[in-house]
Structure 1
Amino acid sequence: MTLEVSHLTGGYGQTNTIEDISFTVASGTLTALIGLNGSGKTTTINHLIGIMQPKAGQIIFDGIDSQKEPVRYQSALSYIPELPVVYEDLTLNEHVQTTISAYHLDEKKAESDAQRLFKIFRLEDKGNWFPIDFSKGMRQKVMIVMALLADTPLLVIDEPFIGLDPLAVADLIDLLKEKKAAGSTILMSTHVIAGAEEFVDQFLLLDQGKIHIRGHLKDIFQAFPKQKTIDGVYYQLAKEAEK
């Protein structure tokens, strides 16, 4: 089940934020989008999840064209946004039931999976809590739990580590490794690079709406021989953009 993005061009109004982007993400792998703010990461993700329609190009997952068969395509993916979006009038347990209904999950298995995820993220005693009682980090955990509970073959994630404590970050990384081992196709944007080589199979460095470099971190540093850190790479890109 491969995600294929071919010559994707899009943006807001008459402005193209991304231009002629092409990449693939194979089943059982995780690709990370990295780059400066405004480089096109979120715009790329918004096209992948269907919020924005491409001006040109194709997005195909497992043979399903996102534009020709949007319902089939959408049912194959789950999404973790950068800013948590929760239902203020639903308890955590009711969020689980909503996800079960939306994705037509087996109720017994899904409830068991939910309890396991609750335990991992230390939410097991929060089932009757409403979002008003949740911190930002807890809301982020709710979004992660619901996306993983859906158990779709395609998982799209936008800056998942923001707002999470170090223990929750480690827990999420372990779960992403688990999803990869089970054959999931994962695309993630992130600014958190430390230790990412351990679980990221491919990095796509975006710059001004285009893929500047693709590969492992060593490939990126080879292209920027004067830099030793990703922050240094970003600084060089920013300085070059000013010229």
Structure 2
Amino acid sequence: MEKLRVDIEEAGYEGRSGVIRNVSFRVGSGELVGLIGPNGAGKSTTIKAVLGLLKDVKGKVEFAGGKPSYAYIPEQPVLYEELTLWEHLRLAASAFGMDEQAFEERAGALLARFRLEQAKHDLPSSFSKGMQQKLMLIIGFLHEPDLYIVDEPFIGLDPRAVKDFLDMLETERRRGAGVLMSTHVLDTAEKICSSFLLVNDGRLIAQGDLDAIRESCGLPGGSLFECFQTMT
């Protein structure tokens, strides 16, 4: 079952139309689709177009059932200085329409998974970058959406937190959620992604599983990093 269908003819910004062109792809149930490309290739613009944050979009973005059910995990943590960690989670739960019991159980389990139980009543503005990023992950996982849109999630995370994140993603994929993830960590992407979208100069230049990417760049047996280097 498709969780996301994207057919963008053109998208951009005021004064900069056509930053991305002819970008079409699908994210299915249980799929982890890696969005990769060099800086300035159009990855962030693609994500913003999917999220509905751009005014100048020609094309269609459709979610499963016609109703968006997604979590967006940004590259840079977005925090309220006056709210504690727990208050951030309660605010998110309220926005998601979660009932109190479901919130308490889910939030408690996620805090334990990411080892932030002792900091639940502290202000995240005083946290390390890694702890702030873990809070963003917890908020994203809180309401178990149909789709995760994740932008460079590994920045600031220590190896144990990376494993916790990847284990949670795998659990959500088994539940049937789809994942669209932008990342520069190509060795990890090669291991965990079911397919890839390779973007360069605002265009989708290759897509498919690793074998399809290898065929597109003429590198049978090549790594994702080698394919990336060849095609960009």
TM above 0.5: yes
**Match for residue 44 of structure 1 among 35, 43, 46:** 46
User: Residue type of the partner of 1:2?
Assistant: K
Residue matched to 2:112:
119
Matches for 1:49-60 after TM superposition, within 5 Å: 49-60=51-62
Shift of residue 217 of structure 1? 2.0
**1:19 lines up with 2:15 in the alignment:** no
Q: Which has the higher mean CA deviation after the structures are superposed, 209-218 or 195-204? A: 195-204
**1:145 lines up with 2:147 in the alignment:** no
Change beyond 3 A, Cα 1:36–1:212: same
Report the Cα distance in structure 2 between the residues aligned to 1:26 and 1:96, rounded to whole angstroms.
Answer: 28
CA contact (8 A) 2:42 2:199 kept: yes
Task: Specify every segment of 5 or more residues in structure 2 that has no aligned partner in the other structure, as ranges.
Answer: none
**Match for residue 72 of structure 2 among 60, 69, 79:** 79
Alignment deviations for residues 58-112 of structure 1 (CA, whole Å, 9 cap, x no partner): 0001142xxxxxxx43xx1210000111111100110111011111102112211
Alignment deviations for residues 142-197 of structure 1 (CA, whole Å, 9 cap, x no partner): 01100100222121111111111111111111110111111112111111122434
Report the Cα distance in structure 1 between the residues aligned to 2:93 and 2:16, rounded to whole angstroms.
Answer: 39
Report the Cα distance in structure 2 between the residues aligned to 1:200 and 1:116, rounded to whole angstroms.
Answer: 26
Residue matched to 1:191:
184
Task: Specify every segment of 5 or more residues in structure 1 that has no aligned partner in the other structure, as ranges.
Answer: 65-71, 239-243
- Equivalenced residue count is 229
Matches for 1:1-243 after TM superposition, within 5 Å: 1-12=2-13, 13-64=15-66, 72-73=67-68, 76-225=69-218, 228-238=222-232
CA contact (8 A) 1:92 1:131 kept: yes
CA contact (8 A) 1:5 1:21 kept: yes
Shift of residue 237 of structure 1? 3.8
Taking every aligned residue pair, what percent have the same amino acid on both sides? 40
Change beyond 3 A, Cα 1:185–1:226: closer
Q: Which has the higher mean CA deviation after the structures are superposed, 136-145 or 27-36? A: 27-36
CA contact (8 A) 2:77 2:133 kept: yes
CA contact (8 A) 2:32 2:193 kept: yes
Q: Specify the SS of the correspondent of 2:30.
A: coil
Report the Cα distance in structure 2 between the residues aligned to 1:170 and 1:202, rounded to whole angstroms.
Answer: 20
User: Residue type of the partner of 1:129?
Assistant: D
CA contact (8 A) 2:9 2:21 kept: yes
TM-score normalised by length of structure 1: 0.88
CA contact (8 A) 1:197 1:216 kept: no
Shift of residue 9 of structure 1? 1.5
Shift of residue 139 of structure 1? 0.6
